[in-house]
Amino acid sequence: MQYELKIPKERIAILIGKKGEVKRRIEKLTKTKLKIDSKEGDVIISGEDSLNCYIMQQIVRAIARGFNPEAAQLLLDEENCLEIIEMGNYIGKSKRKQKRLKGRVIGEEGKAKKMIGQITETEISVYGKTISIIGKISDVALARKAVIDLLAGARHGPIYNTLQKKKNELKVSGDQK
């Protein structure tokens, strides 16, 4: 099994890590091999097990979208998923508008991003023209809705309140099972 990806050149060093330790660690954990072309940003993933190759692909995509390797490794747990939101799909091509709305999602000193992440128990990365989320599927869905609402212009306070209510509902329904 083999996957080919292209990642931003500035993220290659993070994927490899100091003296190749990140690359070695994720190869060992997924039982796959990475071949990285540093000049072009091409990454080739190969391995025997297609599920492990897919997991490695998701880890590489997460690192490429701004996550640190530790956060990306959360994808080793099959209950977790990676969601990548292309801002252009929601707000068009205007660079000024993208910058402004990226700021809304991040918030002052990262507060909005941190609050959404804490309430939904997810990891969130804002990188380039994308907003990426890692976490359990139901939590990622909540975080995704909050991010899209922010991009649509909703106010922060009501979003946090709604998230908290929905998260509490999920916990209650999860406790009853």
The residues near 138 (Cβ < 8 Å, ≥ 6 apart) are 170
pTM, entire model: 0.91
What is the reported pLDDT for 88? Answer: 82
Q: What would the mean pLDDT of 12-26 be, rounded to a whole number? A: 95
Residue 171 and residue 90 share a domain: yes
Higher pLDDT, 93 or 54: 54
Which of residues 29, 56, 76 is at a domain's end?
A: 76
Report residue 98's pLDDT band, with 50, 70 and 90 as the boundaries. Answer: confident
Residue 85 and residue 151 share a domain: yes
Could you tell me the CATH number of the domain that includes residue 6? 3.30.1370.10
Residue 87 and residue 71 share a domain: no
Pairwise CA distance, residues 126 & 132, whole Å: 6
Residue 69 and residue 14 share a domain: yes
Residue 171 and residue 87 share a domain: yes
- Please count the other Cβ atoms lying within 10 Å of the Cβ belonging to residue 105: 19
Residue 85 and residue 10 share a domain: no
Report residue 177's pLDDT band, with 50, 70 and 90 as the boundaries. Answer: very low
Which of residues 76, 98, 123 is at a domain's end?
A: 76
Which of residues 39, 56, 76 is at a domain's end?
A: 76
Residue 57 and residue 42 share a domain: yes
Nearest one of 1, 10, 67, 4 to 30, comparing CA atoms: 1
Tally of structural domains, the chain: 2
Residue 158 and residue 107 share a domain: yes
Residue 72 and residue 91 share a domain: no
Pairwise CA distance, residues 169 & 12, whole Å: 40
Full domain range(s) for residue 69: 2-76
